[in-house]
Structure 1
Amino acid sequence: MPGLILICRRGSTSLKLPCRSRPYSFQEPGTSAMSQFDSPPEASTSSGQPKGQYAQAPVVTEDSLRWRPKYVFRPPPLGPGLGPGVRQLRVPAKPKNIVHTITGWDPYAFKLPSYRPGRKMITFIVVTTSLYAGVRYDRKEAKRMAAEYLEQVKEMGRQPIAGMEEVPRCINVLTTTLPEDTERDRSAIYFKKYIKPMLHAAGVDYEIHTGKMPGNLARKLIDEIRTRRLEEEAKRPIEQPVPGTADYVRTVRRLQEIQGGTLIIGHNTLKEYLYALRKGWLSELDLVQAARDNDEPDAALSARLAKLHVFDDPADQLNSDGPNVGNIDDEPAPPVLTRLQPQSAAPEAGSVSRWSSWLKPAVQPPPLPAFELNPPFEVDAPEPTPRILPAPAQLPTQPPIAIVAYDHPLGSMRWWPLKSWRLLFGERERVRRGAETALAILNCHTRPLRGPSDQRYILARTGSELGAVGELEAPQDNFLTEEGKMKDYDYTPLESGTDLDIGSDAELHYIRAFRKWPETIASSRKEWYTQLPKKLALARELARGDREPTKEEVKYPPITETELRQQQLDKERRWQNEEEGWKVTRAGSKVAWDERMEEALYLFVKSSEEE
């Protein structure tokens, strides 16, 4: 509100009341008090008043005490050459951005503020910018390193093949799933992303063998090794096989396998590979039992399950003395059944029923001559003489191996910082490790694999002189108490100071539930066998027709006895395989090693290392 000066009369003097605005000058005596208000707006404007300001209030004297002061608002001038009745033209507004118009974005939202951000905002900007710059630099350097490594091997892929008989080099890639890992092909994905491009650039083929469960790869390799031993035993080797024959193809494949090599990804894969070599090659092989297992793989397991007697019928146990083979009319049995049974007394004349004539055939068969039962029907056939294939004195030469120390922490939250660091800034290390492994395979520089020669490692953590194999073949009850709980055992990695320790730190990152895997298997087995009698009784009750099935049973038929037997076989096979896989790959178990492996295994190394 503009300044205002009021003069009130108090006695014979004048009192001035100033306001907050600037002071005003008093009017000279004798001047009309209304002269300034009666003048037109132009006159006041020309006197130097600012635009849009209120006019100065006049000084009130004693002659004009009855007059009430007013405020006069003077609008700013319209411009040069414009009168009071002419309006000034507005400048057209700048057209808006079409993107802002369509999307409805605020054009000022993306403009930097004119003020300095606060301390928290500065901290956030610095941290996020640093992380982004670090990740960006890591990815850029990894891409540059991969391109440099590819340039080193491109010339290998451009070399021509010598002839039609030359086959391309093939690498066997062995991968396994980490214990309790839901991502089945994690290690295979690592190979395809960091090692496969190098092999493709060099013109080298590969074949992946993946174990979906712990111990699955070892069983597969053991079966292949035993099959090869049986084939070599059945066929006499030919020194110079004729091209085009099966022996020639087999020889070429064997040579290609040795010239190619084996790539092992992960320490758990190394354990399964050496365990398969130890059990497949360096153990005796029963040819008769191997033939039986080939025809009926589950014969031994079925025989072991039959000794449990969980499917025995109580009604059959009550009539264990033998069923009554006589007919309902107490008539003598037919001649064929008579010879299979001891001679009984002839029936009395009055004991023949009137239904006997209906049950007799129209034409009586001639009586069979008396004969003696063959021995196979009276006693069990003698077991064939077992033929044992002894283990070789030395492990046959195997393809050179390359070991990748692959690891992926699982489970506990304490590994999250490590996983985050590897995810954000570990791309260069993964590219470098994969490329150097591929270069070692392509350059074919090898040296003998250094195994533990100290007997303390071979006999460590086991009370058997068989070493690792004795521990792996030990019964599962050694790790469980009578209540089915796990015993305390040392699960820290067992170091030997040799090449067998490559990637052994991965055992520290296993999920904790895998340490008590035998206890989990025992609990599942106990639960299934507890529910079995109820399911078996229901299946037999419906199969015998003791009662009619309910509507729910008609809509959802319960499991039959045959299905229960098959389910038992499948579950026992799975539990047995899981127990064997746990023994091989558990944390703290040693790698299966034998002194006969020293001169047969070779390791791919860099060209700078001593061969």
Structure 2
Amino acid sequence: MTGPAKPVDPPREIPKALRPLVWVGIPEAVLRWKPRLPSRNWSIFWTSVAAVSYLYYEDRRQCKKIMEEYKERVRGLSEDVMHPLEHPRKVYVYTAKYPGDDNYDVGVRFFKRYVKPILVAAAIDYEITSGTKYGNLARELRERIHERRRNLAGLEPWTTNTVAGTSLPTTLSPVQYLQRELDGAVVLIGRPAFKEWAWALREGWGTSIPTTRVDRDEQLASVLSEDTTFEEHVPEPQADVQEDEPTEEVGRPSATQGFMLPSQIGLQSLQQKSGTASFSAHPTAIMNQAQPEAPAAATVPEQLLPPVAPIPAQPPLCFVDFTNLVGWRNIPRRIAHFFNHRSDARLGAEAGLSIVLGNKNDAREFDPGMPDRDSDAAPPSSDLHWGVDAEQYYPPAFNRTLQDIVRYRQDYYGELQKELQATREIQRRVREPTKYEQRNPPRNEIELRGERFDREKMWRNSEQGYEILKPEAPVCWDETWRGSLRVLQPRQEDERVPRKPAPKEAEEPVAESS
């Protein structure tokens, strides 16, 4: 049996103050509604949402306030009048791919969000060089330094817009271009960019280089042409040879090795189809049979430019201690950092202020902090330890880079041999293609060689970049750099560029009424 029914409360009477609203058209149910406090769970939910929203709003408001404060301190510099033929000051920004992060532009985004506004407010130009892969920034800067050395030696013309005697009045001479570089600055975003920049400085100035430009892709192709990845061992046909007839042996070149020419690939295919030995020889080998051998030309050793010591003066440095939190173990730190972007705003604004207000004259000398050449002996307070704390946040997957490359190579070359064998069998009509191969024809040897070259180039660059960026690898340093590197100093809190007073508007005379 059910208990007695619970009495229903009568509907709430409409307050006298709200009764006129009934004639306006507002439903009586709305006017009879009696508000009440939410339940415990709803109170917890709305309190949490309000607290999180306030923390986010207050942090972003503080970021805007910090940026406006620093921009106001340097805005007076943008009000100076420049000559029409004068160039603004220019800084060079270097960012590198952060270990463990697939987004290679995190350093660029940090610069554009927190450092760039200060430079724009001061009317300072900038140029960003970002590495999309491990070691890309180091290799790019190394090639630039090699080009600069050949330019200074008079072996190559200046390829930048610095050639004197052109028709443009704004064109800079090489001397003016170099002076403009020294008047600017080099901004390093994060420790990876610092390591790759130092490696490029050592490899660029401290090694002997050829007098002509070196094609790295051609060097890699030459190395790959010496292996036996695409080599095919074909048994030679047994032929009955009479003893009284002279035999002429046609040499078989190693045309199946490495990177063959397209003509060599076609000759090899014809040999397999016809089964004759007339196409087995290389065209040059056939020509050499009818012509006498020419004497080998004496090899002339290539001239090299010796290392430069000491290196030329470099633009003053500004290091931005940017840390990218990557990986699952850094999720709690990332959540806390989501509500503390004002620390990044303060860091970027201070760096921008030191760039704008600092120059090579008041910059201090780079302090490696070590009396000898052993970089591991540098104390933690030296400049070589810039951003060293960020290396402890590298994800563990970055330390497995070399093992992953070895595994990728094994899997790729295993599939490459299968696809190469299928391609050769189908082209030589040894078998008919399967239904799957009819829908997806296998690639020819030229395409496979091109793909193999691209993969090997990527893997070797990644291995080189890992050796530069791994936490146990120190920052490159050479004692011959002393006196050539300088560092911009942080500015005082009251230091600012005064703004020009606004021009007073001429007061119009007031006509007296008659």
**Which residue of structure 1 aligns with residue 375 of structure 2?**
458
**Which residue of structure 1 aligns with residue 76 of structure 2?**
155
**Which residue of structure 1 aligns with residue 447 of structure 2?**
563
**Alpha-carbon distance change, 109 to 268 in structure 1, aligned in 2, over 3 angstroms:** farther
Q: Which amino acid aligns with 1:449?
A: F
Deviations 1:397-452 (A, max 9, x none): 1111111000121112x32221111111x122111111111110111241111114
**Which residue of structure 1 aligns with residue 226 of structure 2?**
307
**Which residue of structure 2 aligns with residue 322 of structure 1?**
250
- Structure-1-length-normalised TM-score: 0.63
**Which residue of structure 1 aligns with residue 144 of structure 2?**
224
Deviations 1:354-413 (A, max 9, x none): xxxxxxxxxxxxxxxxx743224xxxx43321212111120111111111000121112x
**Which residue of structure 1 aligns with residue 293 of structure 2?**
373
Q: Which amino acid aligns with 1:415?
A: N
1:96 Cα offset (Å)? 7.5
Determine if contact 1:221/1:276 at 8 Å carries over to the other structure. Answer: yes
Match of 2:411 among 527, 540, 543: 527
Alpha-carbon distance in structure 1 between the residues aligned to 2:76 and 2:33:
51
Q: Tell me the secondary structure at the aligned position of residue 298 of structure 1.
A: helix
1:574 Cα offset (Å)? 0.7
**Which residue of structure 2 aligns with residue 415 of structure 1?**
330
Does residue 280 in structure 1 map to residue 204 in structure 2? Answer: yes
Alpha-carbon distance in structure 1 between the residues aligned to 2:136 and 2:25:
64
Determine if contact 1:179/1:213 at 8 Å carries over to the other structure. Answer: no
Q: Tell me the secondary structure at the aligned position of residue 409 of structure 1.
A: coil
Match of 2:476 among 581, 592, 598: 592
Deviations 1:147-166 (A, max 9, x none): 221111111000001x3442
Q: Tell me the secondary structure at the aligned position of residue 590 of structure 1.
A: coil
Higher relative contact order (CA 8 A, sep 6+): 2
Structure-to-structure mapping, 1:67-78, within 5 angstroms = none
Alpha-carbon distance in structure 2 between the residues aligned to 1:109 and 1:216:
71
Q: Which amino acid aligns with 2:364?
A: R
**Which residue of structure 2 aligns with residue 490 of structure 1?**
none
**Which residue of structure 2 aligns with residue 136 of structure 1?**
57
**Alpha-carbon distance change, 540 to 337 in structure 1, aligned in 2, over 3 angstroms:** closer
Moved more, 543-552 or 556-565: 543-552
1:237 Cα offset (Å)? 11
Determine if contact 1:286/1:388 at 8 Å carries over to the other structure. Answer: yes
**Which residue of structure 2 aligns with residue 468 of structure 1?**
none
Q: Tell me the secondary structure at the aligned position of residue 398 of structure 2.
A: helix
**Which residue of structure 2 aligns with residue 575 of structure 1?**
459
1:141 Cα offset (Å)? 2.5
Alpha-carbon distance in structure 2 between the residues aligned to 1:604 and 1:317:
72
**Alpha-carbon distance change, 555 to 130 in structure 1, aligned in 2, over 3 angstroms:** closer
Q: Tell me the secondary structure at the aligned position of residue 227 of structure 2.
A: coil
Alpha-carbon distance in structure 2 between the residues aligned to 1:112 and 1:403:
58
Q: Which amino acid aligns with 2:222?
A: A
**Alpha-carbon distance change, 125 to 551 in structure 1, aligned in 2, over 3 angstroms:** closer
Unaligned runs of 5+ in 1: 1-90, 331-335, 343-370, 461-493
Alpha-carbon distance in structure 2 between the residues aligned to 1:147 and 1:388:
53
Alpha-carbon distance in structure 1 between the residues aligned to 2:163 and 2:102:
49
Structure-to-structure mapping, 1:22-37, within 5 angstroms = none
Determine if contact 1:179/1:514 at 8 Å carries over to the other structure. Answer: yes
Q: Tell me the secondary structure at the aligned position of residue 315 of structure 1.
A: coil
Q: Tell me the secondary structure at the aligned position of residue 174 of structure 1.
A: strand
**Which residue of structure 2 aligns with residue 507 of structure 1?**
391
1:455 Cα offset (Å)? 3.6
Q: Which amino acid aligns with 2:223?
A: R
Q: Tell me the secondary structure at the aligned position of residue 416 of structure 1.
A: helix
Percent identity between the aligned chains?
A: 29
Deviations 1:477-534 (A, max 9, x none): xxxxxxxxxxxxxxxxx96431122222211111211101000001111111222222
Alpha-carbon distance in structure 2 between the residues aligned to 1:386 and 1:449:
36
Q: Which amino acid aligns with 2:470?
A: R
Alpha-carbon distance in structure 1 between the residues aligned to 2:435 and 2:124:
63
Note the aligned Cα RMSD (angstroms).
3.6
Alpha-carbon distance in structure 2 between the residues aligned to 1:211 and 1:264:
12
Alpha-carbon distance in structure 2 between the residues aligned to 1:108 and 1:179:
62
1:176 Cα offset (Å)? 1.7
**Which residue of structure 2 aligns with residue 406 of structure 1?**
322
Q: Which amino acid aligns with 1:222?
A: R
Deviations 1:244-263 (A, max 9, x none): 35995222222211111111
**Alpha-carbon distance change, 340 to 169 in structure 1, aligned in 2, over 3 angstroms:** closer
**Which residue of structure 1 aligns with residue 345 of structure 2?**
431
1:544 Cα offset (Å)? 2.4
1:550 Cα offset (Å)? 4.2
Q: Which amino acid aligns with 1:302?
A: A
1:133 Cα offset (Å)? 3.4
Alpha-carbon distance in structure 1 between the residues aligned to 2:435 and 2:157:
67
1:212 Cα offset (Å)? 0.8
Alpha-carbon distance in structure 2 between the residues aligned to 1:311 and 1:132:
62
**Which residue of structure 1 aligns with residue 7 of structure 2?**
none
**Alpha-carbon distance change, 439 to 373 in structure 1, aligned in 2, over 3 angstroms:** same
Unaligned runs of 5+ in 2: 1-18, 239-247, 253-270, 279-283, 494-514
Alpha-carbon distance in structure 2 between the residues aligned to 1:339 and 1:211:
48
Determine if contact 2:97/2:105 at 8 Å carries over to the other structure. Answer: yes
1:130 Cα offset (Å)? 3.7
Does residue 601 in structure 1 map to residue 485 in structure 2? Answer: yes
1:234 Cα offset (Å)? 2.7
Q: Which amino acid aligns with 1:265?
A: I
Determine if contact 2:318/2:355 at 8 Å carries over to the other structure. Answer: yes
Determine if contact 1:453/1:595 at 8 Å carries over to the other structure. Answer: no
1:546 Cα offset (Å)? 2.9
Deviations 1:153-205 (A, max 9, x none): 111000001x3442111111111221231323211111111111111111111
1:608 Cα offset (Å)? 3.9
- Between structure 1 and structure 2, the one with the greater Rg is 1
Structure-to-structure mapping, 1:69-468, within 5 angstroms = 94=22, 107=30, 112-113=35-36, 117-118=39-40, 123-161=44-82, 163-235=83-155, 244=165, 249-287=173-211, 290-291=212-213, 293-294=214-215, 297-315=216-234, 322=250, 341=289, 372-376=292-296, 381-412=297-328, 414-424=329-339, 426-444=340-358, 445-455=362-372, 457-458=374-375
Deviations 1:111-137 (A, max 9, x none): 751x5854x555555544444333333
Determine if contact 1:450/1:498 at 8 Å carries over to the other structure. Answer: yes
Alpha-carbon distance in structure 2 between the residues aligned to 1:315 and 1:268:
50
**Which residue of structure 1 aligns with residue 259 of structure 2?**
none
Alpha-carbon distance in structure 2 between the residues aligned to 1:109 and 1:230:
89
**Alpha-carbon distance change, 441 to 312 in structure 1, aligned in 2, over 3 angstroms:** same
1:108 Cα offset (Å)? 8.6
Q: Which amino acid aligns with 2:368?
A: G
1:95 Cα offset (Å)? 5.2
1:321 Cα offset (Å)? 6.2
Alpha-carbon distance in structure 2 between the residues aligned to 1:518 and 1:337:
42
**Alpha-carbon distance change, 579 to 168 in structure 1, aligned in 2, over 3 angstroms:** same
Determine if contact 1:157/1:201 at 8 Å carries over to the other structure. Answer: yes
Give the total of aligned pairs. Answer: 429
Q: Tell me the secondary structure at the aligned position of residue 323 of structure 2.
A: coil
Alpha-carbon distance in structure 2 between the residues aligned to 1:143 and 1:224:
38
**Alpha-carbon distance change, 545 to 278 in structure 1, aligned in 2, over 3 angstroms:** same
Q: Tell me the secondary structure at the aligned position of residue 188 of structure 2.
A: strand
Q: Which amino acid aligns with 1:313?
A: E
